[in-house]
Amino acid sequence: MATKTYAGVAVDVNEEGYFTNPSQWTKDIAMEIAKEEGVELTDKHFEVLEYLRNKFNSGDALSIRGINKSGVVDVKTFYQMFPGAPMKKATKIAGIPKPASCV
């Protein structure tokens, strides 16, 4: 298992840089990861990140369709907020493992 340092804290990550221990996540860490991913976080971003973390913690599968039905943000906005690979970027910034639906 690898570690990476964000905001002065060493966190456990896999070979792709996704957290293996989501409890190590903080908002300060999220801001540093977002900067690496080219995303400037707003309050709306943090709403999405909290939604993803809550879904993950409850054992629910994460999907783009679920984001659209979340009531937090629609799919078009989600893609604008996390351009390129939105679910991959969002879950990495949220400090949770990459969903199985992401290749």
Among all residues, which ones are annotated catalytic? 102
46 and 81 Cβ atoms separated by less than 8 Å: no
Q: What phi and psi, each to the nearest 5 degrees, are found at residue 32?
A: -70, -40
- The first and second tokens of residue 56, run together, are 């993950």
- The first and second tokens of residue 13, run together, are 């990550």
